[in-house]
Amino acid sequence: MSRLGIFVDRKTLSSAEQLNALIRCRDAAEEMGHGAEFIFPVDIRKIPQVDGLFIRARTDPMNITYVASRMAAFAGIPVIDDPDSIQVCSDKVHMYARLMREGVEVPRTLFLSFRDLTPARAREVFDELGSPLVVKEPSTSFSLRVEKVEAPGELLQVARRYFKLSDWVVVQEYVESTYDWRVGVLRGRFLYACKYIIPSQTFKIQDSVNGHVVYCGVESVPPQMVPPAVIDLGIRAGRAIGNGLYGVDIKEGPAGPCVIEVNDNPSLEGGEDTAYPHVYREIVHTLLEV
Amino acid sequence: MPDGQLLLEPPAPGEAITRLSGPARRHALRAKSGPVLSRGSIHSVERDGVVHLVSENYSYKSEAYYAILMQETQGRRVEPGTKAILDAFVVPVCLERARMDGIPVADYAISQSCIPAPAVIYGLNYFACTSHFEVLCDDESARELVRHVTNNGKYPFCSQRLEAGARIERAVSIFGNVSSTDPAMAGMAAGVWDSFCIPLVEIICIDGPCGLRLSSLCPVRYSRLTPAERDLLSAYLSGQVFL
Ligand SMILES: Nc1ncnc2c1ncn2[C@@H]1O[C@H](COP(=O)(O)OP(=O)(O)O)[C@@H](O)[C@H]1O
Ligand SMILES: [Mg+2]
């Protein structure tokens, strides 16, 4: 019997869906004959006592999840998400740079530094990438700091706002679609797939419209219903980042499928795995039995 | 198939990003005054095929961080690495890495609620910077400071106990050298340089009954350098002092 640590913070515990997902994870570990315990930020010292650590809280190199992940790595304990995956996936500059270097298809993407974003440069960017464009602050998550812009002035405005949080921002060609594929990848292999249906009021999978938050619909899709090119791209994207657990977002653009984002710490509480009952078992197996 | 393009922006004209190697380096050797350490400027020194980047701000998502990241992405050898930077400025991670590299470090705990004074505390959240630590002197003021550092209990923090008579000592390290005459601090700076390879960093220590122990690492503004520190840094940048 091994011990699984599940790292959670107050935010994880504040949602009913998250709580149910955590219980399913614990149950999977116990059914496999292992122990499972929750680890809170103040328990980071206990990490060396578990045999594997599964982080279920919003990861970022600047928050406590990175401390937990790094402590596990220092102690030689298998961890999802490992520090490298957190570093790469939490920062869209890092993530796209990695995907491009590894030849993984992404929408045409540029990085802009506050030092060189002048009105002239903004016009050039539209010439290079077309209109509209998508601007992203590198640490965005839940679509929070992703905006569509249609003119150089608008690009400057949004970028200036994002420059308060990051010296560089990402600008990207806009790829039209009504849903995002989400391909789950574990240790370089296909784990699950679902569709995130984009709400009709917006272009993002989550947005605030007239003060109300609108969420995407989640539709778990069995493997035989997923285009092989989408699965293949998901796997290649996951492998380009590392050997952990990733949720790869893919759009089918006019020129073929392209990766919008590789998420570490992909959510599993929204029904993503309905058609894949063994997702937690496979995660536990990876952490405790490999 | 849409494919991305990695755009490496060259420094804007007139920008103080100096890359000293080859002929430029020899030229700098003859120059009287070193490069200008203007606000936000990033400088580099090359030695044995490794580029050392000097910045007053290495923080996550800063210009320097991304300059280093782009070098790493292209497989070039560059110091400090982005991983060392992330490790250095998150206090518990910094201390764990340092400890594993044989550096004496302060005892610490991660807490979310009030802790007894006296202690030094560092916020652990997206906006925390190691240079903004708080010293809790008495239990009275501790509550208020903890509330401040944790944003009303929202985020955890890292605390380090101050034993009776312990003091905070700080020193600016330039390529592992400090102007302090204290051999313990000089040894600390050498150890921190070996472990993190950050050319410009402030070392915060607790000096107590168990000797000098690392408390944290902080960024250093050029404007805060003493004339002697400024001269030493300029000498490195212009190649008058070798790594
Ligand atoms: N290049 C793009 N073209 C069209 N829509 C996009 C593009 N990039 C992102 N989006 C939409 O915005 C959402 C959020 O973008 P994403 O890059 O995933 O940031 P976040 O990490 O905040 O979720 C995506 O799910 C997608 O629906
Ligand atoms: Mg996303």
pLDDT in tens, B161-178: 998 889 999 999 999 999
What distance, in Å, lies between the first and last C-alpha atoms of chain B? 47
Question: From CA A203, how far away is CA A194, in angstroms rounded?
Answer: 18
Cα B231 to middle of ligand 1, angstroms: 48
Is the pLDDT at B28 greater than 60? The verdict is no
The answer to whether B169 touches B189, Cβ cutoff 8 Å, is no
Q: Across chain B, what does the average pLDDT equal?
A: 84
**Which 3 state secondary structure label does DSSP give A7?**
strand
Query: What pLDDT was estimated at residue B91?
Result: 94
Q: What angle do CA B60, B168, B194 make, to 5 degrees?
A: 50
Query: What pLDDT was estimated at residue B88?
Result: 96
Most confident residue range from A250-259, B113-122, B129-138: A250-259
Q: Among the atoms of ligand 1, which is closest to the Cα of residue A107?
A: 1
Please provide residue B87's backbone torsions phi and psi, each rounded to the nearest 5 degrees. Answer: -60, -45
**Which 3 state secondary structure label does DSSP give B168?**
strand
H or E stretch including B211?
strand B211-218
What is the residue type of A244? G
DSSP-assigned beta bridge partners for residue A208: A213
Output A144 or B154, whichever has higher pLDDT.
A144
**Residues of each domain in chain A carrying CATH 3.30.470.20:** 89-104+176-264
> Which residues does a 6 A CB cutoff place in the pocket of ligand 1?
A 107, 134, 136, 140-144, 146, 172, 174-175, 180, 198, 203-205, 249, 260-261
Residues less than 5 Å from ion ligand 2, measured at CB: A 261
Q: Where are the alpha helices (DSSP H) in chain B?
A: 22-30, 63-73, 82-88, 91-100, 139-149, 183-196, 227-237
Q: For the residues B61-89, what does the mean pLDDT come to? A: 97
What ipTM is given for this predicted complex?
0.95
The answer to whether A186 touches A283, Cβ cutoff 8 Å, is yes
Query: What pLDDT was estimated at residue B33?
Result: 56
How far are the Cα atoms of A214, B120, B141, B152, B205 from residue B138, in angstroms, in the given order? Answer: 48, 11, 6, 19, 20
Q: What's chain A's length in residues?
A: 290
**Residues of each domain in chain A carrying CATH 3.30.1490.20:** 109-173
Read off the pLDDT of residues B172-220 as tens digits, 9 standing for 90 and up.
999 999 988 899 999 999 999 999 999 999 999 999 998 999 999 999 9
Question: Can you count the helices (H) and strands (E) in chain B?
Answer: 7, 11
Give the CA diameter of chain B: 67
CB-based contact B7 A111, cutoff 8 Å = yes
Residue with structure tokens 């020194």?
A: B45
Is the pLDDT at B6 greater than 60? The verdict is no
Query: What pLDDT was estimated at residue B72?
Result: 97
Band of pLDDT at residue B54, cut at 50, 70 and 90? very high
Query: Which segment of A134-148, A186-200, B81-95, B133-147 scores lowest on mean pLDDT?
Result: B133-147
Segments of chain A with pLDDT less than 70: none
Asked if CATH classification 3.10.20.600 holds for the domain at A89-104+176-264, the reply, yes or no, is: no
Beta carbons within 8 Å of A127's beta carbon, 6+ residues apart: none
User: What is the token pair recorded at B56?
Assistant: 């007053």
Which CATH number applies to A3-81? 3.40.50.20
Tell how far CA B217 is from the center of its chain: 5
What is the residue type of A263? N
CB-based contact B2 A258, cutoff 8 Å = yes
Query: What pLDDT was estimated at residue B50?
Result: 94
User: What is the token pair recorded at A118?
Assistant: 């002048």
When CB atoms are compared, the residue of B4, B69, B93 closest to A100 is B4
Q: Where are the domains of chain B?
A: 10-31+48-72+79-103+166-243, 109-161
Asked if CATH classification 1.20.1090.10 holds for the domain at A109-173, the reply, yes or no, is: no
Query: What pLDDT was estimated at residue B130?
Result: 67
Query: How much is the pTM?
Result: 0.91
Cα A251 to middle of ligand 1, angstroms: 10
How many CB pairs (< 8 A) connect A and B? 126
By alpha-carbon position, which residue is closest to atom 27 of ligand 1?
A204
**Residues of each domain in chain A carrying CATH 3.40.50.20:** 3-81
